């Protein structure tokens, strides 16, 4: 029987969903009148309109210092990366279309790095973004915001070397300044004496107008508090921290990084929100594709066998909402207050990402997903550069 609860808008909640939520202690109605049931159902995510706008509106924009960004961005790690993502220059025309589509739908945050692009293609991602911005037809709903990361290379040991890195990135992006200049990783785990020069470099590039705002990546709570104080004492506001964050990588919560961001007023940007594709169920379950080759395939081989309970919960939510698993995974990140930056190499992937906008999971669904994720025997491997 499909019916349990209907509202005047024709939205239906099913008994199966009520049972799933009550099993994790998320939905316990105390009264049986229709109005009370509707309130509980909305709170628990039992009923909500299917669909969603698939675009970011002005009301959705998030303020990061001097810039306003969409609640979801696009990561461009794959743009120029042959080793992990099979990039070739033949893909550039479609990547331009990906950029145009996302920007036309209000997604204006694009994340890149001076190290994105393998071998001779180093910096390719920034160059493509520079070209795509110049070639965008017409006026977008919101101006593009480029967040680029500067690698903590061992030869970057002075303030000036970091400043010149920002200057080079701005040149590849064909802009006078990078909107958000981010330190790609901390050297605290292996070369702590280099750290101060890197922080000083962030101050230098901000003071010289080469970045409009400053961010970090792969910083845990202790180091985050240290660099936040250093930047604040130097008159430089810290607006964001990028952290690996997904249903299969919740270390940001358990280790305190998310709480530190909230306490310091710094926004968390979630990279790998789909766990390198694992949360799309493309590589697990019925009708799934073969595991990818290379490093990703080796990693997935050890994780996929234990994901069926999480996949089943995600599929049930997808069925109720008319969404895909990747859209549910990305929307979960937004519901947790993070700005996810899923990658997109094709128009179909871009459309998938955009389908995560314009709606929100219910509180009960969020809790149910997290409970199922905790039951997975293996989580995603954490970035080795992530600090405490």
**Could you give the residue numbers annotated as active site?**
116
Q: Positive or negative, the Cα torsion across 26, 31, 33, 39?
A: negative
The residues near 316 (Cβ < 8 Å, ≥ 6 apart) are: 16, 17, 20
C-alpha separations of 176 from 136, 172, 291 in Å: 18, 10, 43
How, if at all, do strands 5-6 and 12-13 pair?
A: antiparallel
* CB burial of residue 102 (10 Å; 0-12, 13-18, 19+): buried
Backbone phi, then psi, for 370, in 5-degree steps? -65, -40
Residue linked to tokens 């939520």:
21
> CB-hemisphere CA count at 13 Å for 286?
2
Distance CA 70, CA 62 (A): 6
Q: Positive or negative, the Cα torsion across 108, 113, 118, 121?
A: positive
Closest CA to 360 of 48, 28, 16: 48
Distance CA 229, CA 202 (A): 13
> Is-contact 253 373, C-beta < 8 A?
no
Write out the two tokens for 230.
């250093």
Backbone phi, then psi, for 54, in 5-degree steps? 70, 20
Write out the two tokens for 1.
């029987």
- 171: how many CB neighbours lie within 10 A of its CB? 14
Distance CA 386, CA 132 (A): 31
Residue 5, classed as helix, strand or coil, is: strand
Distance CA 210, CA 218 (A): 22
Write out the two tokens for 45.
């995510």
- 357: how many CB neighbours lie within 10 A of its CB? 24
């Amino acid at each position: 029987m499909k019916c349990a609860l209907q509202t005047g808008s024709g939205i239906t909640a099913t008994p199966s969903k009520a049972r799933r939520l009550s099993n994790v202690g998320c939905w316990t109605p105390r009264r049986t009148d229709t109005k009370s049931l509707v309130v509980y159902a909305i709170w628990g995510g039992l009923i909500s309109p299917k669909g969603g706008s698939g675009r970011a509106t002005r009301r959705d924009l998030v303020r990061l210092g001097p810039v306003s960004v969409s609640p979801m961005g696009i990561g461009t790690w794959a743009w120029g990366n042959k080793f992990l993502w099979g990039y070739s220059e033949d893909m550039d025309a479609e990547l331009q279309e990906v950029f145009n589509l996302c920007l036309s739908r209000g997604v204006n945050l694009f994340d890149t790095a001076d190290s994105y692009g393998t071998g001779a293609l180093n910096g390719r991602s920034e160059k493509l973004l520079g070209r795509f911005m110049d070639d965008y037809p017409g006026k977008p709903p919101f101006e593009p915001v480029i967040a680029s990361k500067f690698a903590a290379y061992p030869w970057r040991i002075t303030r000036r070397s970091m400043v010149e890195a920002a200057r080079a990135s701005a040149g590849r992006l064909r802009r006078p300044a990078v909107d958000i200049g981010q330190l790609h990783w901390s050297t605290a785990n292996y070369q702590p004496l280099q750290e101060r020069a890197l922080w000083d470099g962030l101050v230098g590039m901000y003071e010289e107008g080469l970045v409009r705002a400053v961010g970090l990546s792969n910083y845990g709570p202790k180091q985050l508090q240290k660099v936040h104080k250093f930047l604040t004492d130097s008159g430089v506001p810290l607006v964001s921290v990028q952290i690996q964050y997904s249903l299969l990588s919740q270390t940001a919560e358990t280790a305190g990084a998310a709480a530190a961001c909230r306490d310091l007023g710094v926004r968390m940007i979630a990279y790998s929100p789909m766990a390198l594709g694992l949360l799309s169920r493309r590589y697990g379950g019925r009708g799934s594709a073969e595991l990818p080759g290379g490093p990703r395939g080796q990693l997935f081989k050890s994780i996929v066998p234990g994901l069926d309970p999480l996949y089943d919960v995600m599929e049930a939510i997808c069925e109720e909402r008319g969404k895909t698993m990747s859209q549910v995974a990305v929307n979960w990140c937004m519901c947790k207050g993070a700005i996810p930056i899923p990658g997109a190499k094709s128009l179909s992937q871009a459309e998938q990402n955009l389908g995560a906008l314009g709606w929100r999971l219910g509180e009960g669904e969020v809790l149910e997903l997290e409970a199922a994720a905790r039951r997975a025997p293996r989580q995603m491997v954490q970035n080795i550069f992530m600090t405490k």
